[in-house]
Every structure is written in structure tokens, then in C-alpha cells.
Amino acid sequence: MCIRDRVSTQSTGDSCNTAMFSVIRKLQGRTDPPPTQPKGYVENNKHIAKFASENNVADTHPSVVTLGFGRNSFPKLRRLLDAPEVDVELASGTVSFTSYIPEDTQSHPDFPEGSQERADLVNVIRQKTLYTLIELLHDPVNVSLTVADGIVGSLNDRCQDTNECIREYSVIALGMVAEQHLGLQELYAQGSVGVLCRLMDDPDHVTRCNVCLLYTSPSPRDS
């Protein structure tokens, strides 16, 4: 694209924006003159320098579970349950930050392979993911999305986790999925009944109580 085409394209975009804002102001009933924006090489450089001098957005801790909107939340929840190590690698200073800025171990901690810090972070990520999933399962629509994205199989795997809290939350999540007829069918199809039966001998008292409550609660057919 030549310079003349760029200039014409920019002028066309400016005219479209001016027309759009004029329509909006007319709908709002505003009669005051619109503010004028300074233009030119010097003003553009001042604008760029103003935002370039501001600090970048701080990096979130890798244990923070952020969600997308609607259906995009559940594939990420399954990924965090199955393979949270991917997020740990991306948050590690030796992987994602040394390629373009000097490593800052205070702001970007490293989680070495096989370390206790890495194992604790993986457990925290899974616990927060399960807690977030439990909050979402209060909506019956989210139960169908959970079934569609195969999270029931991931919950079966987490019921065999070595961490007691993860097993407790996994049983609670399976119980909430079973409250809907579609979720109950998925539990039968994924073999969750056998997984829960084996948890009746779990050494954790809270996990055993959650399994008993799941089996004694009324099924969707009874309601």
C-alpha cells in the first residue's frame, strides 16, 4: 500500500468516526459543540509518550483462576484440573520472561520441576478450580456444559488425588452434577458410581461424609 492509499484510508476512517459520533450526539440530544482533538506529529508523539511511560499491568499470581465468558469457561476449568502444570510453566520466570526482559525472581518466581513449591501450587490451582466449578454448578445450564466438556471424567480422576481437599471438592462437584438428570446419566456412563463407592473407605472423614450425603440425597427421578 502506497502513502497516498494510507492517507486516503485514514481520512475515510476519520470521516466515518465523525459521522458516527454525530449520530450518537444527536440521539443523546446534545447541542454543544463536540470537543476537538489535537492532531499533528508533535501531538501524536505526546500521546504515545504519555501511555508508554505508564507501568504495565501487574502479572497475576499463577494460582488465580480467571474465567472466560459462557462456554469458554469450562474447557479452561477442565485444563486446570487435568494439566495445571501448563499454567505453572507459563508463570515461571525461566520460561516466559527471560526471552524478552531480564529475569526478576522476586516478581516472577520460578517453580522447579519436582519441587515442593511446584506441587503446592498445583494443588492450590486445582482446589480453586474445583471451588469455582462448584459455584458455577448452581446453575442447571452449567451442568449441561460441564457434561458436554467432559469434566465428569476429570472429576473422577481428581477423586483419586492424594490431596484430601481436592477429593472433598471433587465429590461435592459430582454430587451437584448428579442433581440433574443429564448429569446423573453422565455419571453412570463415566463410571463415577464405582469411583464414589471406593471412596467410602477413604481415610479422610470429610470425603466419606460427602459420599454418604451424595448417595442419600434424592435423585432427579424422585423429584
Span of 81-90, 128-137, 158-167, 192-201 with lowest mean pLDDT: 81-90
**Which of 30 and 77 is assigned the larger pLDDT?**
77
Tens digits of per-residue pLDDT, 164-189? 999 999 999 999 999 888 999 999 99
pLDDT at 59 over 80: no
Contact 111, 87 (CB under 8 A): no
* CA 153/CA 147 separation, integer angstroms: 9
Asked if residue 61 has pLDDT above 50, the reply is: yes
105 pLDDT above the threshold of 70: no
Can you give the pLDDT at residue 90? 66
Instruction: Give the per-residue pLDDT at 170.
Output: 94
Does pLDDT of 9 surpass 50? Answer: no
Contact of 78 with 132, CB cutoff 8 Å: no
Q: In 62-80, which positions are buried (b, 16+ CB within 10 angstroms) versus exposed (e)?
A: bbebeeeeeeebbebbbeb
- pLDDT value of position 92: 58
- Confidence band, pLDDT 50/70/90 cuts, at residue 222: low
- Rounded distance, CA 139 to CA 93, Å? 38
Spatial distance between the Cα atoms of 7 and 109, rounded to a whole number of angstroms: 47
Are the C-beta atoms of 81 and 155 separated by less than 8 Å? yes
161: Cα separation from own chain's centroid? 22
Closest of 97, 92, 90, 93 to residue 76, by C-alpha: 90
Percentage of residues of the chain with pLDDT beyond 70:
72
Quickly state the pLDDT bin for 101 (edges 50, 70, 90). Answer: very low
Query: Residue 153: pLDDT above 90?
Result: yes
pLDDT score of 186: 92
Which whole number is the average pLDDT over 137-148? 89
Worst-scoring range by mean pLDDT, 25-39, 73-87, 135-149? Answer: 25-39
What is the pLDDT averaged over residues 28-39? 78
